[in-house]
Amino acid sequence: MGLRSLPEFVPEPEPAPVIFEKHSIADYKIIYGEDATEAEANAANILANTLNQITDLDYAAVQSVPSGGKEILVGQIGGVDVSELGNDGYVIKAEGESIYIAGGRPRGTFYGVHRFLEEYFGCRWYSEHFQAIPKGPAEIAEVKDERYTPPLEFRDMDWFFYSAGKYYSAANGLNGNTHGGLPMAEELGGSFGYNGSCAHSMTSFFVKSEDFFDVHPEWYAYRESSKSRVSSHLCLTNPEVLAQMILEVRNQLENGNGEPIVSVTQEDNDFYCQCANCKAVDREEGSQAGTMISFVNAVAADIVQDYPDALIDTFAYRHTRKPPKHVRPLPNVVVRLCSIECCFAHPLDDPKCPDNVQFARDIRGWSEICERLYVWDYTMNIFCYHVMHPNFQVLQKNMQFFLEHNVKDVFEQGNGTCDLSDSEFALLRGYLLARLLWNPNLDYDAEMNGLLEDYYGGGWQYMREFIDLMSRNAGKPALFGLWHRKLGIGTFPNNKAILDLKPNQVAYADRLWEKAINLAGDETSEQHVLRSQLSWRFWKSSNRAGEFSRWQLPAKWQAENERLYNDMRAFGITNYSENVGGGNNWRFLQETPDSWWGTPYRWRG
């Protein structure tokens, strides 16, 4: 079979802009109210400063009262109806010669200003390090009335670009603090997040856990296999454990960072308690979620009178993922369902994907019994950040699936060290996820294509063709469909679940990259292409494909391994996986490996 010919991408001519004279805003004043919040005043100043960048004019935001002339009124000023917008919704409208951008407090106006700059001026905040603020005239098309409230009350991720850059998180509609710890600043609208740890917190609440284990071993999980107690989990039917946890949660609410959610979540292991009392509850409930929900319900019932706005958060994770038969989470209990076991080459509701069928059943079960269902989702390869993770085809479908089942929060776990390990499509994936958290029904293709063009330059269509090629060939059944291939969060780089390509497809993909590099148009865009190409080269080396094939002379593929390693180092890439800093310490070798015979798996420190 011959090589597929490359498509010739011819950009369509830009349509002539439609300009309405009454919305030529060169003469407009930007006004925010005398009672404006810190976030509203900041939003007005951001609007002025961004318009200055776009137009080279001299806008300034003024705190004043409306005069009825040509004004952009920012915040709850001028009598705009902001009812039913909640904390995060906004309204944009034109009335007479005035343009109104208002929102619910504390964050709605801040979001509304950024949506206005996106819609009418094409601004994009892709990351802390890369934005698109186009130059243009001080004119906009006719302003259309718009009211929008995001469907998720909590929106967060730990892709580095957003967790590190608080402003860019807020500009893209994120409002959480899952891994950032401190709340967002008031000038960004504050956050709706976690008071203390966000995960695996139960034993760490017992701040003197070693002393407690020595003095009160009965507080900890009993394991039948060893007939002993272990310090990595708690006994959830012990009343003394409950009393101590209530004290610790109350202390966190009283002395913590002021956020409303306290995480009371199991440790990252399966060493749950198997004492007679815990086993009896779990047997009755048909799931270890029986003891977990009963325990957090008791904590939540104790604090609700003194802290009516506080929420107690727990996991449905691993052994607790299956909903209990009888016990129901209280209204002030958050259940975070985790998708860690799933396949991410296929939508989570795909009935043909055996790894996802049970998760779909579980989310339906929890949605029937839980008033506040959250999701902890996974969007990268924890084991290896550098091999491609073809999940772009499922991101929007999964987000919509969550909303269909009354999920009120989604946290997207990503590559939290992109600055040390981005050799794939971290910026693209992080940006798209931020946009989907804000609006799951957006024009996904338009958002993706817009970033690709801004970031990769003139050859962006070939980058899109490569991404689509990955999507079509991830998670393909093996041996004519005789068994399933799972694209999980720890899939090894040489697993065909990531990509299953024939030699002619590898050659075709090489040509797509070559086109993208040649047509990038400027050095910055070319460097962006070359950085992302590292993931393709990493996959080829891991799978001995293309120039890394063992059919080549050994000197050739060894030289290609050395070149790939050196190129990754030149781009500042040091981290291999999430386990950096843990027991495995999976960093790339600081010194050149002794031999280039091995695939990149052997380059770990």
pLDDT 10s digits, 387-412: 899 999 999 999 999 999 999 999 99
- Is the pLDDT confidence value at 428 over 70? yes
- Is 312 in contact with 334 (CB distance < 8 Å)? yes
Measured distance CA(278)–CA(358) in Å, rounded? 24
Domains in the chain, CATH or no CATH each: 21-148 (3.30.379.10), 197-255+260-338 (3.20.20.80), 460-603 (no CATH)
Q: Return the top range by mean pLDDT from 13-27, 50-64, 189-203, 289-303.
A: 289-303
More confident residue, 339 or 602: 339
Instruction: Kindly indicate the confidence band of residue 553, based on its pLDDT and cuts at 50, 70 and 90.
Output: confident
pLDDT of residue 585: 42
pLDDT tens digits for range 478-520: 766 667 899 999 999 999 999 999 999 999 999 999 999 999 9
pLDDT of residue 560: 94
Give the range among 323-327, 383-387, 445-449, 502-506 with minimum mean pLDDT.
383-387
More confident residue, 244 or 595: 244
- Is 107 in contact with 82 (CB distance < 8 Å)? no
More confident residue, 338 or 553: 338
Percent of the chain exceeding pLDDT 70 equals 92
- Is the pLDDT confidence value at 17 over 50? no
Class of residue 295 by CB neighbours under 10 A (exposed 0-12, middle 13-18, buried 19+): buried
464 phi, psi to nearest 5 deg? -65, -40
Please count the residues of the chain: 605
Count Cβ atoms below 10 Å from residue 293 Cβ, excluding itself.
29
pLDDT of residue 481: 64
pLDDT of residue 415: 86
pLDDT tens digits for range 125-160: 998 889 999 998 888 878 999 999 999 999 999 887
In angstroms, what is the C-alpha Rg of the chain? 26
pLDDT of residue 11: 63
pLDDT of residue 605: 58
Percent of the chain exceeding pLDDT 90 equals 74
b/e per residue, 564-584, with b = 16+ CB within 10 A? bbebbeeeebbbbbbebeeee
pLDDT of residue 589: 55
Taking all residues of the chain, what is their mean pLDDT, rounded to a whole number?
A: 90
